[in-house]
Amino acid sequence: MTVLLTNDDGFGAAGLETLIEILSPDHTVYVVAPDKDCSGVSHGFTMTQPLRIKKTGERMFKCSGLPADCTDVGTKRLMDKLPDAVISGINRGGNIGTDILYSGTAAAARQASLHGIPGIAVSLESKTGDWNYGPLAAFVRDNLANLISLCAEDVFVNINARDLPSYKGWRMTVPAKRDYRDSAELWDAPDGHLYSFFKGGTALAPLKADNDYTAVQEGFISVSRVFAQPCSAGGFFDIPDDFFKMP
């Protein structure tokens, strides 16, 4: 198969390099990745300036844009034909539940699915700081065809796991609702400006049998199918015609 690899940690990141190494023997691998760390950029897209792209090797490109840009320019301009899949990761840190909204890793996979290309986001959590991406990369390699089969137009796959030498198995999961306890510091600088600094905190989630958070905490690989398109909250069908005033 032909696959496009990207990420949000940036070109040369260890998780991306592990995927390149483990997928290249059996697949035609293209790489289009940001030239900087783009963690937390969500589905940002560059529209007001050109993208600067540098070819660093055969089918290897470094891009000044964001993860969604990399998916777009890779599939539309840098590849001879559309890939069988876009794989984003392996991210340094989990993208569990509500994290998906903020994740550049997830955005790159989402961008693929919006154009009918299978998109797979892969992320690893670590409690030890060892960041052993090998076992999770092997799972992607060994199950690539099945992972692609779970994708659909406007649906991408989000994979999460802990940094473990082996796993108890895998679970199909739903994204958990996370409760973030983040904060920000404000600094009144001598230059007359106020500066705000993000301070990360704990990110809580309920331990429910069907969610991705629980699966990862219990030593399983979590696989979620996620809608790419916004979904209506509903509940508006019984609103009366005179509910809103017209000017």
**225: closest CA among 149, 136, 134?**
149
How many residues are there in the chain? 247
91 is in an annotated binding site: yes
**143 annotated to a ligand binding site:** no
- Rounded distance, CA 4 to CA 75, Å? 8
Q: Which helix (H) or strand (E) holds 145?
A: helix 144-150
Q: Give the tokens for residue 238.
A: 């019984």
Q: Is position 8 annotated in a ligand binding site?
A: yes
Contact 83, 75 (CB under 8 A): yes
| Degrees to nearest 5, angle at CA 90 with 69 and 124 | 130
Q: Give bridge partners of residue 195 from the DSSP assignment.
A: 187
132 is in an annotated binding site: no
Binding site for a divalent metal cation, by residue number, is 8-9, 39, 91
| Known binding-site positions | 8-9, 39, 91
